[in-house]
Structure 1
Amino acid sequence: MTNNTLADFNKLTTAEAEALYQREVLAEGFAGFRRLLDSLTEAIKAARDTDMETVAHAVAKAKRLFPEPLEFSPSWENIWPELESTIAAKTHIFTNIPPGDRVGEWQVIMDNPLVVQEVVCYPALSFEDAAYLYAYFRPQLEKSEYIRLQKIQTVIQEIGG
């Protein structure tokens, strides 16, 4: 496939180029569509404040070109709403945490206090990594679950042995 990066995908500006790309992906099937999804996911993960609109447009274009991702795999039935929700959650974080407050160590915690299960914690993250994890998991929360994105102000750590 010629266009297998997000940069290439974003360069598809004519209806003819989009139709050719669409035919190539459809002909390749699962693998071609998977490459597109992987590039979109990586773009969402790497996106900064100023990139969010571009990434949202890329997902909208992919959704328009491939409105039935279920044709490629049953596991992708809800991929477009999932990616859109991840973008919305990450945009929400960028909107609510000013750039000057982002330096330092961050963590993401998930729990459901109404059931007996482990608390999930992703510690020692950069702001960018924590923002992505929060945005990725936020749309998947079940009833009574919560997710927290928090900055670590003070850390005391000891290692046994």
Structure 2
Amino acid sequence: MLNNTYSQFSMLIGEEAEAAYQQEVRAEGYAGFRRLLDGLTEAIKAAADADIPGLEQALAKASRLFPEPVQFSPSWECIWAELEATLTAKKHVLSSISPAERSGEWQVIMDNPQVVQEVVCYPGLDFHDAAYLYAYFRPQLEKSEYIRLQKIQTVIQELGR
């Protein structure tokens, strides 16, 4: 469910409304800006094919209204680039896998075969959750790491007693 701050943001029309919203969020500080980010993140997570252009515009508007998110928190110095990279990766997934191929069970796997560390696997996902996880982690890959989004065709699973 999209939060109220993001809902207000997505309905802004005109410079006067944008300026009032900007002032309201700045007056509230960290909490107000955090709700906007949470709303944008949830919108990216829930985005279907037709939602991508609107989200691209929303991110552009958000970065224009709040060009220095580091004022709210040092951890948000690169938040616009991070959200844009996530949205770009999700757009790539949605454009690469047709709606007819999206049913069934999906998983996301990440590994770096060059180092001794555990493989990370997110199994048993529906397509949209898997697409978001792929999109979220894809921009963060380090040298020699890989990420895989794959559909499970056959599963044999047993439970221990």
Provide Cα deviations, 1:29-68, integer angstroms capped at 9, x if missing partner: 1000000000000000001001111111111110000000
* Runs of 5+ consecutive residues of structure 1 not aligned to the other structure: none
Match of 1:90 in 2: 90
Partners of 2:109 and 2:45 lie apart in 1 by: 18
Match of 1:131 in 2: 131
Shift of 1:133: 0.2
Shift of 1:73: 0.3
Partners of 2:41 and 2:100 lie apart in 1 by: 26
Aligned pairs, how many?
Answer: 159
User: Which amino acid is the alignment partner of residue 104 of structure 1?
Assistant: G
User: Which amino acid is the alignment partner of residue 98 of structure 1?
Assistant: S
Provide Cα deviations, 1:96-130, integer angstroms capped at 9, x if missing partner: 10111101000000000000000000000000000
Shift of 1:11: 1.2
Greater shift, 6-15 or 142-151, is seen at 6-15
Query: What secondary structure is seen at the aligned counterpart in 2 of 1:5?
Result: helix
Deviation above 2 Å: which 4+ runs of structure 1? 3-7
Provide Cα deviations, 1:112-155, integer angstroms capped at 9, x if missing partner: 00000000000000000000000000000011000000000000
Partners of 1:101 and 1:11 lie apart in 2 by: 33
Query: What secondary structure is seen at the aligned counterpart in 2 of 1:19?
Result: helix
* Runs of 5+ consecutive residues of structure 2 not aligned to the other structure: none
Tell me the TM-score normalized by structure 2: 0.96
Partners of 2:108 and 2:114 lie apart in 1 by: 19
Q: Report percent identity of matched pairs.
A: 72
Match of 2:145 in 1: 145
Give the CA RMSD over aligned residues. Answer: 1.0
